[in-house]
Amino acid sequence: MKLSDADFEILRDFIYDTCGMFFTIQKKYFVESRIAKRMEKLSIKSPGEYIRSLKNGAGSIELKQLLNDLTTNETYFFRNPPQLKALENQLLPEVATPKEKIGFRRLKIWSAGSSSGEEAYTLAMVMLEKCETLLKKWTFEIVGTDINDEVLAKAREGVYNSYSVRHVPEYYMRKYFRKESGERYAISPEVKKYVNFQHLNLYDDNKMIFMKTFDFIFCANVLIYFDTASKSKVVQHFYNNMQPYGYFFVGQSESLHGVSDKFKTVHFPGGFAYKK
């Protein structure tokens, strides 16, 4: 199956208008290969017919499936140690201090583009440990969101292979995981109860405005799918949805340069974060 340049542009623009993801012409082969699999599954013969099926009202389920296939969800537990150390040792104490003074002992964290849940559960384990020391008598909530329903289902299940847990410290493995058959590891119910996974399109203004009052937002390797205009739109929502003292984290190779000038860059050993 060959996707013409014209059909590629029609499909690319439709996806962009729907969720802000932008595929350059260099990604044509990648998009083509994913569409070919969907067309074969649906017994559709031509790209034009497939695109028409996506654009009609009944195509919303198929669009979700295509977006599942177009997004990469490679992740694992404790993926960015410098960010986690900064969160534990520097940023949590800083953010907790003004809250403690007014007696509001609650923290809210968002894992945007949470994929299969490793980041969100990592944050939950870190928070549980801090609640035994710095944050005694505190409560917290972690929200994980993604556009991919398949990875959200896996996240809610909370069972992972040895690759996903390969960087989990032994202490955390013993305390928060249960080994199952076939090198499978289940996250403990104690961790799962603090994490709520939701389907969310970051490009959906009507849904994004309800994601309010977060102290920390993590959005690693998600903005790479957006062009500058889409990034600016999504990052503005993140900015609006944060507490005045909140922190925003992106992937190690990502930057808000040319995207937003509203955040202040805060450096720490091995990395950086953006402060509102």
Per residue in 148-169, pLDDT (tens digit) is 989 999 999 999 999 999 999 9
CB atoms within 10 A of CB 69: 14
Which structure tokens are listed for 80?
Answer: 């960015």
pLDDT tens across 186-223, in order? 999 999 999 999 999 999 999 999 999 999 999 999 99
Pick from 127, 84, 129: which is nearest to 106 by CA?
A: 127
Q: Indicate if the pLDDT at residue 181 is higher than 90.
A: no
What percent of the chain has a predicted confidence (pLDDT) above 90? Answer: 76
Q: How many domains does the chain have?
A: 2
Q: Indicate if the pLDDT at residue 112 is higher than 70.
A: yes
Residue whose structure tokens are 């994490």: 195
Residues 99 and 159 in one domain: yes
75 within a domain of the structure (yes/no) = no
Domain coverage including residue 253? 81-275
CATH number at residue 165: 3.40.50.150
Which structure tokens are listed for 188?
Answer: 């403990």
Residues 196 and 239 in one domain: yes
The whole-number pLDDT of residue 58 equals 54
What is the phi/psi pair of residue 180, to 5°?
A: -110, -175
Q: What is the mean pLDDT of the chain?
A: 93
Given strand 242-250, what is the order of strands in its sheet?
195-199, 139-146, 106-112, 214-219, 242-250, 271-275, 264-268
In Å, how far from its chain's centre is CA 51? 27
The domain boundary, picked from 51, 70, 89, lies at 70
Residues 64 and 85 in one domain: no
Residues 35 and 124 in one domain: no
The domain boundary, picked from 24, 40, 70, lies at 70
The domain boundary, picked from 35, 51, 70, lies at 70
55-64, 137-146, 170-179: which range is least confident on average? 55-64
More confident residue, 255 or 98: 255
Residues 224 and 173 in one domain: yes
76 within a domain of the structure (yes/no) = no
Which structure tokens are listed for 4?
Answer: 């013409």
CATH number at residue 54: 1.10.155.10
* SS3 sequence of the chain: CCCCHHHHHHHHHHHHHHHCECCCHHHHHHHHHHHHHHHHHHCCCCHHHHHHHHHCHHHHHHHHHHHHHHCCCCCCCCCCHHHHHHHHHHHHHHHHHHHHHCCCCEEEEEEECCCCCHHHHHHHHHHHHHCCCCCCCCEEEEEEEECCHHHHHHHHHCEEECCCCCCCCHHHHHHHEEEECCCEEEECHHHHCCEEEEECCCCCHHHHCCCCCEEEEEECCCHHHECHHHHHHHHHHHHHCEEEEEEEEECCCCCCCCCCCCCEEEEECCEEEEEC
Which structure tokens are listed for 273?
Answer: 């974060």
Query: Cα separations (Å) of 118 from 14, 48, 67, 98, 122?
Result: 30, 38, 20, 29, 6
pLDDT tens across 22-76, in order? 998 998 999 999 999 999 988 999 999 999 888 886 557 888 888 888 887 779 9
49-63, 98-112, 116-130, 196-210: which range is least confident on average? 49-63
Residues 132 and 257 in one domain: yes
Residues 184 and 237 in one domain: yes
The set of residues, in sequence order, having a beta carbon less than 8 Å from that of 12 and lying 6+ positions away, is 22, 23, 31
